[in-house]
A and B are shown apart, each in its own frame.
Chain A
Amino acid sequence: MEKKLLRLLLGMLFLSVQAIAQQKTITGKVTSADDGNALPGVSIKIKGTPDGTVTDVNGLYSIKAGNGQVLVFSFISFATQEIAIKNNNTINVKLGADTKSLNEVVVVGYGTQKRANLTGAVSTVDTKALQSRPITDVARGLQGVVPGLTITTATGDLGTDPKIRLRGLVGSINTGAAGAAPLILVDNVEIPSLQLINPDDIESISVLKDAASASIYGTRAAFGVILVTTKAGKRNAANRITYSNNFAWSLPTTQIKLAPAADNAQASLLALQRFDPNTTSFGVIGYTVDAGAIQKMRDWETQYGNQNLGPEMVQGRDFDIIGGKLYFYRSWDAGKMYLKDWTPQQSHNVGISGGSEKINYNIGLGYLNQDGVLKVNPDKFSRYNFSMGLGASPTKWLDARAKVIFSNTVTSTPFIFSSSQYGPYYYLYRWPANYPYGTYNGLPFRSTVTEVQQAKIDQDKNNLSRISVGGTFKVLPGFTIDADYTYSGTNEHLHQTGGNTMAYDFWSFNGTALNYTGYQSASYNKARYYSYWNTVNTGKLFATYNKNIGDHSFKAILGSDIELNEYTSESAERRNLLDQNFGEVNLATGDQFASSTNGHYSTLGYFARINYAYKDKYLLELNGREDGSSRFPVNNLYGFFPSASAGYILTKESYMDWSKGFLSFLKVRGSYGSVGNQAVGNNRFLSLLSAQTSGWILPSGNATTLTTPTPLSPVLTWETIRTADLGLDARFLNDELGLTFDVFNRTTSNMISPGVTLPSSFGAASPVRNYGELQGKGWELAIDYNHTFSGGFHFSATATLSDAQETITKFANTSLQLPDPIAALNTKYYAGMKLGEIWGYETDRLFTASDFAGKDAAGHYVYAKGVPSQTQMESGSFYFGPGDVKYKDLNGDGVVYQGANTVDDHGDKKIIGNSTPRYQYGLRLGADWKGFDLNVFFQGVGKRDLWASGPIFIPGFRGAEGWYSNQMDYWTESNPNAFYPRPTNYGAAADKWDFQPQTRYLLNMAYLRLKNVNLGYSFSKSVTRRLGIERLRVFLSGENILTFDHLGGIQIDPETDFSQTQIDNDRAGFGRVYPYRKTYSAGLQVTF
């Protein structure tokens, strides 16, 4: 083999020697057709020979070549030109921009590939489109940009990571909260959060979607890979300094509005009277509401509603104490008092880059500061970034490289005096409008606003430091060895200072006077430090061999990667602070608490890939990976996962010549491959006992205990994910219009799932086995169009549309219970189930008096003849009557009920919707003309249903508490056509009585959002150069500024979902979360 190589090499040399005989020197300058600037670093090759050169900093080149030979000018993101040498000795070339060129080089796993030659499903992101958007992280910018990626944020919280999922939401029922999350690699090494990366540092983003392109990364890439490459500077490039900034102001997209106090109280009273008609008054956390108080609330509204009375509350006017009871009359707008109208945000980025023939460098500095919406004790998010990339060629046989990334984020939030699911927003919108947010004698009442006001600020700092060194050894022409090592350290330090809150604690009103006191649990009077450290050591070593023989071109890669991931956390807490202003553990005197976690995992894999192309027409790629992971059972550490893909470029065939006029490129491709899934939960193959506090208090404290070890099936092994993908790439009209289409089928087989449903007598959940199978099917479409009109008006459009649906195809389940209406909580599956499906009743309408034939002796309504009975849905003291929801008797048995609530006996229930987002789309329209550029970006979801929970969704969820303005449209005899049924107190229980999952109140979460509008102006070079500025652009931008949805009166943003803490703890907080924001921004970009 090596001898052959050598012979070949010598042969080539001989050829060049021959050519030299007729050579002359050609010189010239390469400039950009766009702006006339010199282009340094352009590669110039003599076609058919290995000879070539590059342009210098001024775009000049010189090369020796002979007449008749062809010079090939190529440069990344410019269209390649070929010019034949005639008699002239000077050849000046203008290269035109070619953003969608098929010659564009795309970053793929362990290498790059020409777009035209891709055989797998790979999408790239136009990172330029992300610039000058007032977004804080790249993930938010990817929403709607890459077909197949689902990017969601459940709340508007600052500094949180959006959920990123690829080709469906779940992938396997074991992926947990993360779902089908792709592996995110920054410079080939995993990163825990894209929040840590400055969007400005990013050079390119590729998304590897099918098994064939992702499997080279092994088990962690089961759900695809997002490859982010950061800037490292370019060879022979001018030294440039760039500066950009962005000043933004945002306001909430939606605001929750409570019902007017008196109306709210009236509804509460009606709801409570259902269960006890004698109720004439009720208490809400210490204060009382009765008919007199309701009148007073109304009077107050009439008399003072429009006046600014200041915060001070006057006894007799705003509140009263009568007969040992406390009454509040005055209304407040808690949201308005608590939230700023506008919150600022700013970012600054500086970049310094350049390169000579042997060296390239890039330095990036970034700063981001985002203020939160809190008015009283503002929260904040800030980020500092530093990055440095360096490349050098000290010898002919080595390209060395090094990169340093450092990032520091700080999230500051007021201490929360409750568990996280009951944060300030939960309480801000929990109580009715007459809840006292004012002061009395200048002192505040107990409220979440008071708590935030008096709270100390928690600081959560996250750091990333990453150092990578590596090099490419050019062993022989076409044969290179790459070795890279990366150390990546992330750590988090959280410092919390609790304390107490001083206020009139009317929640425990003593019947005589308001008591100004501290009222928080002693457990909040504490200082706490929490730290988390994670280090990842990654090594990669691979050899690449490129070889062209005639029309055959080969590329082979053989390599290995290894990773060790270790993490530790510790928490230290001490109660009873000496002084709330000094939140230090050693300045507290009470009980001490400490805890730690410690863990590690490792992976090791060997991989090989062969690419073969014949005449750049028939393309074939074969991949194989022998992969090991410590997350797998010790007796089964390794698995072999092969994949293959192939492509066929039809337009290279002569039989397609007829289409040349409009079809410039057509490729069909297909791939199939498998990869193991390690995202099945840590220690999945071990029977664990977890330490926890028992809740049994000994003199020494809360006794520690351990959980019961879970039963484990001895035959359990890993899951395998197979993806088949068929794709088509086409370009029309001289490449101006492009289309990419993919259909895929991703099957998760051997899915770890409960074995056969065991009876309760087993005493534990059935041990899991590799019983299940899940199939995700979908398609992705991307269209782009670029056209420059005469006169310089340039127009571009890109559109993406995708759909994915996941179905359980195999599941050992004999009880066939219906799934939970909230997908994230669901643990019940059956073969044939589409994930996200919502079972419920079809709503007929609200009952009218004529549906009943009077009341029986016990006072319950008797159904009129022919009206199906809903008695079986009654419980407690709830009985259906006029104004309640009338469900449809779908099975016609005269009774509305869920049967056994199983798939084979679901009574009158049916599938009423699905919470999986379908038909996700994005549309970007861009135009530029004479320095002006305008970009408009729409993003949306075509179909999605949600069955929610909590008081925002269910009027009367807690009857005596806050109702919302939209919920005042409830049934009464005088309002029989109301949207909501007769008021009922649900006692904090969801999914019963009038609020069984049903079609009438199902939320339609489809939306179309004007995500971004960006208007920029670039000053003409002739102007800016006088100021020593190479390029100057100013812009205005708006984010989330228009929304179209189908939510009606429900006061939530259409992107709202259950947050993880709501899922884990209490869904009642749904919608009462940190607001989503629309943002307006302005900024500039300068290049020196």
Chain B
Amino acid sequence: MFGLILISWGCKKTDEFLTKQPLDQFTDDTYWTSEGNVRTFAFGFYPTYFPGYASGFDLSWGGYFSGESLNDDFAPLTPTTFTKNVPATDVATGGWTDGFKNIRKANLFIDRIKKVPMPDEAIKHWTGVARFFRALEFASKVKKYGDFPWYGKVLAETDVKELYRPRDPRTMVMDSVLADFNYAAANVRTADAATGPQGLVVNKSVVLAFMSRVFLFEGNWEKYQANNAAKATEYLTAAKNAANEVITKGGYSVAPDYRKLFNSLDLSTNTEIILYRKYQTGLLTHSLNSYVNKEVQTGASKNAIESYLCKDGLPISVSPLYKGDKTIANVMTDRDPRIAATFVPAIRLNGVVSNYSSSGYAVLKFFNEDIKDLTDGNSSLNDTQAPVIRFGEILINYAEASAELGTLTQNDLDISINKLRKRTGINMPALQVMGGQPAVNGNVYDDPKRDPTVSSLLWEIRRERRTELMMEGFRNDDLRKWKKYQYLDTQGNPDINLGAWINRADYPKTLSVATQNNAASGYVVPATKAETQRIFNDPKVYLAPLPLDQIKLYKDQGVDLKQNPGW
């Protein structure tokens, strides 16, 4: 009798009773069923590659503002240092380890897309999107580490040989990145309305825009750091062509208001925006607006302020319009209007105001006055939208690539930089090229303060890039690709550790800043300590060191994972 009960209890369905698949989660076997699912998966890449102003109290602000301060634009109290030590392990976002996670994700995505029942066009489009993300990851790793192992598929734990492969040469990896970009440019949809509106999703223009950014860097690197003329030409050409396609076919135009690109509550109709990150109260907010308004900030250097032209298009060293820098009004008078759109028309000093800047010069660029007293304008609750990549940068990329290729014509300047100079409210005289020399209003000029190793024309192109893209996180990469880290040495370039000129007597006794030689008047010196000066004496810092634990792991397998030179 008892046995009978047991049998009826168990019945033949016990295995079924004990098989319980998850009800509220997908498995790798059940997920890849429709284009909608593919689209949903793709959003997992967006915040990684398009951080915008980041979110919450993330004070890196996606690399905007002082989120990237290892450059000559910023004059901090404690200058941002070069990497000092080889890390034992790497856990930082954007580091060695993190990179492979993104690569695996992209390779897995590329593989799974093939299984999804959808039209060939859709498969090609999404494969293009996935390869675009993969290209972005490899490009950023190459930028940081140089040589890097290329993987085009998801590795299994048993692929020991592949896993412990030494690094591939830089150009080999970048050739693959170029192939990914080319595939993406050829197959990604011009617009993908089903995924989201233009400006918020990856489309062909987004791919081409990033392609110009990535290969402008890489071409310059090959030219100045690697001395590989052939590759430099190949990559710079790729950058120029990609930029050209955006310029000629993208349908974008320079927007009338420079500042509105950085402090708008709505970028959806801005004609200059190729991709932006949307912020929305209660869903996703950042803290950049609050910081440039109310917090103590890292200020701009005298060097950065002086790089702005006068409104006649001439550098301050030669322009008759330059008023000197004894007052902030003088600094801003008759200058390239972008200076007033980027910096606060007041000197903010420690001991005088609470939202002081280390140099006295404070940044305005990302500040929206309309929301300053609203909840949205404060704390980490800011909802101004962030440009991820904009047409203005593409114009500069085009000009710089052309100049570096040595093919720059007046027409090249007119379709690029001069468009930015003609922006409503900027209205700077057009840059001309006359006999390979820069000129404005028909007059050739040469900035006497120029780096003698840089040609006068290139100097002006680079100045335009610095001016237009000030505080947008480009400067460090630019100095790296041009091999100009010597600009970062605070002793070799005292101007990058100086701020506004002040007369102590003009301020209350509570003033708490150092001036040169502690004089009664003079330039503010943000970093006073000898030990905090940034000295550039070892080119090894152009590439980041590989984490030690990885080198050891490879060594245990008899593979030499080479450390970068000098580390």
A760 touches B100 (CB 8 A): yes
Asked if A705 meets B529 with Cβ closer than 8 Å, knowing A324-B353, A541-B6, the reply is: no
A760 touches B44 (CB 8 A): no
Residues of B within 8 A of A575 (CB): 282
Asked if A278 meets B528 with Cβ closer than 8 Å, knowing A325-B353, A630-B20, A755-B157, the reply is: yes
Q: Residues 533-558 of chain B: 1 if any A CB is under 8 Å from the residue's CB, otherwise 0?
A: 10000000000000111101110100
Total A-B pairs, Cβ < 8 A: 288
Residues of B within 8 A of A539 (CB): 9
Q: Residues 271-312 of chain A: 1 if any B CB is under 8 Å from the residue's CB, otherwise 0?
A: 000011111110100101010100000000000000000000
Asked if A277 meets B529 with Cβ closer than 8 Å, knowing A510-B373, A518-B375, A764-B101, the reply is: yes
A758 touches B163 (CB 8 A): yes
Q: Which of A23-31, A56-64, A870-878 contacts B (4 or more CB under 8 A)?
A: A870-878
B512 touches A761 (CB 8 A): no
Residues of B within 8 A of A276 (CB): 77-78, 528-529, 532
Q: Which of B21-29, B446-454, B469-477 contacts A (4 or more CB under 8 A)?
A: B21-29
Number of interface residues of B (CB under 8 A): 107
B22 touches A761 (CB 8 A): no
**Inter-chain pairs besides A517-B375, A858-B530, 8 sampled, C-beta below 8 Å:** A523-B282, A523-B283, A689-B26, A694-B43, A701-B280, A766-B157, A859-B529, A859-B530
Roughly how many angstroms separate A323 CA and B348 CA in the complex, as a whole number? Answer: 12
Q: Which of A597-605, A930-938, A1005-1013 contacts B (4 or more CB under 8 A)?
A: A597-605
Q: Is A891 at the interface (CB under 8 A from chain B)?
A: no
Roughly how many angstroms separate A705 CA and B48 CA in the complex, as a whole number? Answer: 13
- B contact residues vs A (CB 8 Å cutoff): 2, 5-6, 9-10, 14-15, 17-29, 31, 40-44, 46-47, 50, 55, 77-78, 81, 84-85, 88-90, 96-97, 99-105, 107-108, 149, 151, 154-157, 162-165, 196-197, 200, 277-285, 290, 294-296, 350-355, 372-373, 375, 378-381, 508, 510, 512-514, 528-533, 547-550, 552-554, 556
> CB < 8 Å: which of B46, B164, B514, B529 contacts A694?
B46
Closest-CB distance, B33 to chain A (whole angstroms)? 12
Q: Is A509 at the interface (CB under 8 A from chain B)?
A: yes
A–B Cβ pairs within 8 angstroms, 5 of them: A505-B378, A521-B281, A688-B22, A688-B25, A705-B41
Residues of B within 8 A of A664 (CB): none
Closest-CB distance, B521 to chain A (whole angstroms)? 18
A521 touches B375 (CB 8 A): yes
Asked if A762 meets B100 with Cβ closer than 8 Å, knowing A508-B290, A521-B381, the reply is: yes
B10 touches A290 (CB 8 A): no
Closest-CB distance, A593 to chain B (whole angstroms)? 9
Q: Is A522 at the interface (CB under 8 A from chain B)?
A: yes
Roughly how many angstroms separate A857 CA and B285 CA in the complex, as a whole number? Answer: 46
Closest-CB distance, B201 to chain A (whole angstroms)? 8
Roughly how many angstroms separate A709 CA and B26 CA in the complex, as a whole number? Answer: 9
Most chain B beta-carbon contacts within 10 A, residue among A325, A518, A601, A697: A697
Residues of A within 8 A of B530 (CB): 857-859
Residues of B within 8 A of A696 (CB): 43, 46-47, 50, 200, 277
Asked if A900 meets B552 with Cβ closer than 8 Å, knowing A325-B353, A591-B282, A764-B104, the reply is: yes
Query: Among residues 494 to 537 in chain A, which have CB atoms less than 8 Å away from a CB atom of chain B?
Result: 505, 507-511, 515, 517-523
Asked if A690 meets B25 with Cβ closer than 8 Å, knowing A324-B354, A713-B157, the reply is: yes
B6 touches A560 (CB 8 A): yes
- Closest residue of B by beta carbon distance from A879: B531
- Closest residue of B by beta carbon distance from A710: B28
> CB < 8 Å: which of A325, A599, A686, A713 contacts B24?
A599
- Closest residue of B by beta carbon distance from A759: B553
A695 touches B284 (CB 8 A): yes
Residues of B within 8 A of A600 (CB): 20, 23
Closest-CB distance, A760 to chain B (whole angstroms)? 4
Q: Is A90 at the interface (CB under 8 A from chain B)?
A: no
Closest-CB distance, A590 to chain B (whole angstroms)? 7
Residues of A within 8 A of B164 (CB): 759, 761
B351 touches A281 (CB 8 A): yes
> CB < 8 Å: which of A323, A707, A755, A757 contacts B353?
A323
Roughly how many angstroms separate A587 CA and B440 CA in the complex, as a whole number? Answer: 64
5 residue pairs, one from A and one from B, having the closest CB atoms:
A763-B104, A630-B20, A709-B28, A705-B44, A696-B46
Q: Is A392 at the interface (CB under 8 A from chain B)?
A: no
Q: Is A344 at the interface (CB under 8 A from chain B)?
A: no
Closest-CB distance, A689 to chain B (whole angstroms)? 5
Roughly how many angstroms separate A705 CA and B45 CA in the complex, as a whole number? Answer: 9
Residues of B within 8 A of A690 (CB): 25
- A contact residues vs B (CB 8 Å cutoff): 275-281, 283, 286, 288, 290, 292, 322-326, 481, 505, 507-511, 515, 517-523, 539, 541, 543, 558, 560, 562, 564, 575, 590-591, 596-604, 606, 628-630, 634, 637, 682-683, 686-691, 694-699, 701-709, 711, 713, 755, 757-764, 766-767, 814-815, 817, 857-860, 872, 875-877, 879, 898, 900-902
> CB < 8 Å: which of A323, A558, A901 contacts B508?
A323
Residues of B within 8 A of A591 (CB): 282-283
Asked if A815 meets B553 with Cβ closer than 8 Å, knowing A277-B528, A290-B510, A697-B280, the reply is: yes
Closest-CB distance, A808 to chain B (whole angstroms)? 19
Roughly how many angstroms separate A634 CA and B16 CA in the complex, as a whole number? Answer: 10
Residues of A within 8 A of B42 (CB): 705
A519 touches B379 (CB 8 A): yes
Roughly how many angstroms separate A620 CA and B566 CA in the complex, as a whole number? Answer: 71
Residues of A within 8 A of B354 (CB): 283, 286, 288, 324-326, 509, 511
Residues of B within 8 A of A898 (CB): 88
Asked if A762 meets B104 with Cβ closer than 8 Å, knowing A523-B282, A697-B280, A875-B84, the reply is: yes
Roughly how many angstroms separate A698 CA and B285 CA in the complex, as a whole number? Answer: 14
Roughly how many angstroms separate A519 CA and B510 CA in the complex, as a whole number? Answer: 31
Asked if A760 meets B27 with Cβ closer than 8 Å, knowing A541-B9, A562-B9, the reply is: no
- Closest residue of B by beta carbon distance from A856: B531
Residues of A within 8 A of B528 (CB): 276-278
B351 touches A706 (CB 8 A): no
Roughly how many angstroms separate A206 CA and B161 CA in the complex, as a whole number? Answer: 55
Asked if A698 meets B200 with Cβ closer than 8 Å, knowing A708-B108, A766-B157, the reply is: yes
Asked if A522 meets B281 with Cβ closer than 8 Å, knowing A598-B24, A690-B25, A817-B549, the reply is: yes
Closest-CB distance, A908 to chain B (whole angstroms)? 14
- Closest residue of A by beta carbon distance from B159: A762
Residues of B within 8 A of A606 (CB): 6, 10
Closest-CB distance, B16 to chain A (whole angstroms)? 10
Asked if A602 meets B101 with Cβ closer than 8 Å, knowing A699-B197, A701-B283, A704-B40, the reply is: no
> CB < 8 Å: which of B47, B103, B197 contacts A695?
B47
- Closest residue of A by beta carbon distance from B44: A705
Closest-CB distance, B505 to chain A (whole angstroms)? 16
Residues of A within 8 A of B372 (CB): 510
Closest-CB distance, B567 to chain A (whole angstroms)? 15
A604 touches B17 (CB 8 A): yes
Asked if A541 meets B108 with Cβ closer than 8 Å, knowing A275-B78, A694-B47, the reply is: no
Closest-CB distance, B32 to chain A (whole angstroms)? 10
Closest-CB distance, B236 to chain A (whole angstroms)? 30
- Closest residue of B by beta carbon distance from A872: B85
Residues of A within 8 A of B97 (CB): 760
Roughly how many angstroms separate A282 CA and B340 CA in the complex, as a whole number? Answer: 28
Closest-CB distance, A292 to chain B (whole angstroms)? 7
B2 touches A543 (CB 8 A): yes
